[in-house]
Amino acid sequence: MRFLISILMVARVFSISATEPDFLPGRRVLLDAHNCYPYDGQWADRIERALKNGMPLAMEPDLAWYTDPATGKSWSIVTHGEPYSGKEPTLESYFFERIRPVVEAALANGDRRHWPLITLNLDFKSNEPEHLSAIWQVLGKYESWLTTSERVADESRVMPLDVRPVLVLTGTSNDQQRVFFDQVPIGGKLRLFGAAPPLRLERGISPATIAPDKLMTFRASNYRRWWNNPWAVVEQGGQREAGSWTPAENARLRALVARAHELGLWIRFYTLNGHDAKDSLGWSEGYNFGSAESVRIRWRAAIQAGVDFVATDQYESFAQFR
């Protein structure tokens, strides 16, 4: 009975009906295309590779605030990091205009069963107020595409989502909350949703040693609706120190996912790769389990546990495996 009541409460929060998509936490496992953008003059096909694997899916762009030293003009760019050239694409040009045909077709079709089709996980590398305001304005231009919710005075009051083809997520930053929630007028629309604040750990304490109910105590709010995790919360030391996948680690993964869903949060883990170094397409060795076999064991565990967003650089391999 308690389980049934919990399901009914979650359904009410997300305003589910028979005609709406099954997007509740724990209902679908998505490829989250990590670092889905070009950098160092390479990898410009990442968004195409991600989209070819079908939808729904998630994609992660990194955003930084660039100032042209010659003109003093500043704008947001999609980039992996410094040095910046000013020739990097923007969120609007690289993502929104590229997915325009997909979104417009979805809106015309009206089949909401798999909405949101695309989740954008914005990874801000800098949180200047001007940067955040600029992204807010870009999202306003595409608001009719976006999954939104009504802004109410009480942040703890989780309002229903108006589900559209695109869902936009962002990080834990309080600076982001000030622009993306606090400054939105009461009755206005929230265009993107932040992550739950992580537990502050003392130096030297591994998150993998903290019980899930202590590691995350934040219940979903109107603005904060997801939980973002490095793999080190599952296996101590993360990818580079991972050994054999054990029943205890599998149980911990399941407990973390169950905790997130109990709190009404989607959960994401990053970044699950497994490959020979020579096969890298610009992928960080820090996320590499070292072999396809090692990562597939963990992909399987994540899928079976109901992880909402599985971040990986190996888009095709994960999609085919799933």
- CATH classification of the domain holding 243: 3.20.20.190
Has residue 299 been placed in a domain? yes
CA distance 61 to 289: 23
Domain of 40, in residue numbers: 27-198+212-321
Has residue 121 been placed in a domain? yes
CA distance 274 to 77: 29
pLDDT of 6: 40
Query: pLDDT digits over 135-148, tens only?
Result: 999 999 999 999 99
Three-class secondary structure of residue 196 per DSSP:
coil
- Residue 207: asked if its preceding bond is cis (omega within 30°), the reply is no
Q: If 0-12 CB within 10 Å is exposed, 13-18 middle and 19+ buried, where does residue 205 land?
A: exposed
Has residue 20 been placed in a domain? no
- Positive or negative: CA dihedral 126, 138, 103, 101: negative
Has residue 18 been placed in a domain? no
Has residue 118 been placed in a domain? yes
Please give the tally of structural domains in the chain. Answer: 1
pLDDT of 201: 81
pLDDT of 9: 38
Q: Angle, nearest 10°, between helix axes 292-305 and 247-262?
A: 40
Query: pLDDT digits over 84-133, tens only?
Result: 999 999 999 999 999 999 999 999 999 999 999 999 999 999 999 999 99
pLDDT of 204: 81
pLDDT of 21: 52
What's this model's pTM, rounded to 2 decimal places?
A: 0.92
Q: What is the DSSP track for 210-272?
A: S-HHHH--PPP-SSEEEEEEEGGGTSTT-GGG--S--HHHHHHHHHHHHHHHHTT-EEEEE--
Has residue 284 been placed in a domain? yes
pLDDT of 15: 41
**Residue spans of the chain under pLDDT 50:** 1-20
pLDDT of 74: 98
pLDDT of 18: 42
Has residue 278 been placed in a domain? yes
Has residue 253 been placed in a domain? yes
